[in-house]
């Protein structure tokens, strides 16, 4: 794969800080109580988990969760956790995710379980509140809230 085409589909990092303007719009609607995928520096909610406290091992029961997980190979674990906490823990979860509709995790845990909003353009991610770069991939907001599974 050429360097140019590889750059269109991959990234050299899996951690992307949510732009505050996007978070604020979502928070105005949902009033988030938990950020399970953050650092102490960029947490969007007072209650949050870091890599060290591992939000994958904690209960999200009855929380209103904002999730922007690491985008590397671990993303499927975070998406599975969101689905599990929605179905069994009464959590409402709103996630900022790469729009990878061809993946197994999209079809197992998002398609037919959650509402998807594809974002226009590319998200401009931040680092410590400063815009760093435009994502090399399209993004989507995924919402697990009050939707029932359906079959085609």
Q: What is the pLDDT of residues 59-100, one digit of tens each?
A: 999 999 999 999 888 999 999 999 999 999 889 999 999 999
Higher pLDDT, 9 or 107: 107
Question: How distant, in Å, are the alpha carbons of 63, 85, 90, 113, 136 from that of 146?
Answer: 14, 13, 10, 9, 31
In 3D, which of 79, 98, 90 has the Cα closest to residue 36? 79
**pLDDT value of residue 151:** 45
Tell me the domain boundaries of the chain: 13-144
In 3D, which of 101, 139, 100 has the Cα closest to residue 123? 139
> Which fold would CATH assign to domain 13-144?
Rossmann fold (3.40.50)
Give just the sign of the alpha carbon dihedral 70, 127, 58, 64. negative
Mean pLDDT for the chain overall: 85
* pTM of the model as a whole: 0.84
Tokens at residue 9, please?
């589909």
State percent of the chain over pLDDT 70: 83
Strands (E), 7-136: 64-67, 92-98, 115-118, 124-127, 130-134
How far apart CA 141 and CA 123 sit, in angstroms, is 11
How far apart CA 30 and CA 39 sit, in angstroms, is 21
Tokens at residue 58, please?
């904690």
Q: Are strands 92-98 and 124-127 parallel, antiparallel or unpaired?
A: unpaired
Q: Check residue 84 and report its DSSP letter.
A: H
Length of the chain: 152
């Amino acid at each position: 794969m050429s360097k140019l085409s590889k750059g269109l589909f991959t990234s050299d990092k899996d951690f992307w800080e949510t732009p505050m303007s996007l978070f604020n719009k979502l928070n105005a609607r949902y009033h988030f109580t938990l950020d399970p995928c953050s650092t102490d520096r960029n947490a969007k909610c007072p209650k949050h988990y870091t890599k060290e406290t591992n939000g994958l091992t904690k209960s999200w029961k009855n929380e209103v969760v904002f999730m922007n997980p690491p985008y590397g190979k671990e993303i499927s674990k975070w998406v599975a956790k969101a689905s599990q906490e929605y179905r069994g823990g009464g959590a409402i979860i709103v996630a900022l995710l790469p729009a990878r509709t061809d993946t197994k995790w999209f079809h197992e845990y998002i398609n037919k379980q959650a509402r998807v909003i594809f974002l226009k353009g590319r998200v401009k991610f931040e680092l410590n509140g400063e815009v760093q770069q435009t994502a090399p991939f399209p993004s989507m907001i995924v919402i697990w809230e009050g939707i029932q599974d359906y079959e085609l």
